[in-house]
Amino acid sequence: MAQSTLDSMPGASTGTVVITEPLNFWGGKRVKPREEKNAEPVFEPATGRVLCQMVPCGAEEVDEAIQSAYAAYQKWSKMAGMERARVMLEAARIIRERREKIAKLEVINNGKTITEALGNIDFSWKSIEYYAGLAGTLAGQHIQLPGGAFAYSRREPLGVCVGIGAWNFPFLITTLKSAPALACGNAMVYKPSPMAPVTAVILAEIYKEAGVPDGLFCVVQGGAETGSLLCHHPKVAKVSFTGSVPTGKKVMEMSAKSVKQVTLELGGKSPLIIFKDCELENAVKGALMANFLTQGQVCCNGTRVFVQREIMPQFLEEVVKRTKAIPVGDPLLGSTRMGPLISKPQLEKVLGFVSQAKKEGARVLCGGDPFVPSDPKLKGGYFMSPCVLGTSNTLVNGGTAHAQSALFFNTQSLSTDNCRDDMTCVKEEIFGPVMSVLPFDTEEEVIQRANNTTFGLASGVFTRDISRAHRVAASMEAGTCFINNYNINPIELPFGGYKMSGFGRENGQVTIEYYSQLKTVVVEMGDVESLF
């Protein structure tokens, strides 16, 4: 049935798709909800119309999915790594073959631009290929002991793993969690976000088509209650969660009751530091990439942009000009660079942050308003204009704030258009297309300010001074530091946070350690020496 959804994608356009197929998947097939009560509408962000209904799974359905996964795990875990790899490579091939159709469905459900979605789908099949390549390399080690005795270690799977995904990268996060889990010999039960539930089941069908045992990758729909059932289930060995800090804390607390392993990829309020000796053109492009991908709904975005005071005027003039020029509109058009936010409540939340910033003394240098595209079918969509925030409480040359505003594109006046560290827009994760720009004077000062946050997911620095670049990278209290670029996260590189941005890692070889466990086997070749 899913194939019919994908097959309709080439002719589909914004505002035309309605999804009626079941979104749950276990036992090798889509599964209809047992009851239609508590159904929640899923909206198409670009139009505001209802795309489908999401019916949350109850306790019996969750248990059925987990039992299905456990049965498949018993078969999959006994296969050689190379056997698992062949199946995974076939899944990657199928995704690559259908990338345009999957990307289009992702756009309709999520609102990101088709350009970004295509990149996400490519990242998805590459991630499966990458972990397929590692599946055959999983091994322990041999240790020689005295007297001819020896020991060896076995790297073994955990069992049934649970993945709980976010709505900003629906299909991609599904693959980033399932690929290492399957490579290590585990099964996975995956719960997508209730706001973007449509494409996870597509991956389940692709795995099935590629040849995994029925039940190896299951999809259960639902919100907090379904998530709680998954975290508490006795047959679940691990939970990998991507989402907000408050929900991450609850996942950790629930999983701790039965001592489940947990990986948490949570929020961020990452600093991007731009020194006066940078290549300004690259720094401006880096700041835009750090703030406006996926409508700013990216956890590792560099939303606190620290700019050395001497180049603040030039930086602001250029970044404001380019932000104003970002084409906002129909996300399925190749020329669009910013689509709608995920939902009306999220749009209202982001606009509320902009309003709060104004009350606290920030000045909106551009954007920050609801945006209504010219296309009539997009009138109900959740669009806003990308925003750059500064402050207007410092007067220039004795002028008034009003005069300062009138001189908006005057280079002198722009030199003081910046935010303060104590503003809500600078301290809290907004998760929308809002950039806050702050001035700094010295390296020592900006490192202290950049690290003065409870988050620690990512960071960035632009400078031509290679010694300074590495010095700053070493000083950042964050899981990633980008030098002279931003938001470059290939599958080969570990990704995860410090502090309240979570723990554990996704991507890279190290993730194998988070989806497997070591068993030590000690072999005595002689007689037992006993004290008794």
Q: Is 5 in a helix, a strand, or coil?
A: helix
Which pair of structure tokens corresponds to residue 78? 């006994």
| 25-34 b/e (C-beta count within 10 Å ≥ 16 → b) | bbbbebbebe
Other CB atoms within 10 A of residue 409 CB? 11
Other CB atoms within 10 A of residue 439 CB? 23
Q: Are residues 46 and 339 in contact, defined by beta-carbon separation less than 8 angstroms?
A: yes
Directed axis angle between helix 280-292 and helix 312-324, to 10°? 50
Helix (H) or strand (E) run with residue 187 in it: strand 187-191
Which pair of structure tokens corresponds to residue 383? 């669009």
Other CB atoms within 10 A of residue 96 CB? 16
Which pair of structure tokens corresponds to residue 110? 């999520």
Helix (H) or strand (E) run with residue 279 in it: none
Closest CA to 164 of 94, 76, 233: 233
Region of 445 (left: φ > 0; alpha: ψ -120 to 50; beta: rest) is: alpha
Q: Which residue, chain included where needed, has tokens 């009003």?
A: 402
Q: In whole angstroms, how far apart are CA 505 and each of 154, 264, 368, 486, 512?
A: 21, 8, 34, 19, 9
Helix (H) or strand (E) run with residue 53 in it: strand 50-54
Q: Which residue, chain included where needed, has tokens 């009350």?
A: 359
Which pair of structure tokens corresponds to residue 327? 């084409």
Please give the Cα distance from 183 to 451 (Å, whole number): 36
Q: Are residues 290 and 301 in contact, defined by beta-carbon separation less than 8 angstroms?
A: yes
Considering 265, 317, 429, 443, which one is annotated as catalytic? 265
Please give the Cα distance from 427 to 304 (Å, whole number): 9
Please give the Cα distance from 108 to 102 (Å, whole number): 10
Element counts in the chain: helices (H) and strands (E): 17, 20
Active site residue 265: yes
Active-site residue set: 265
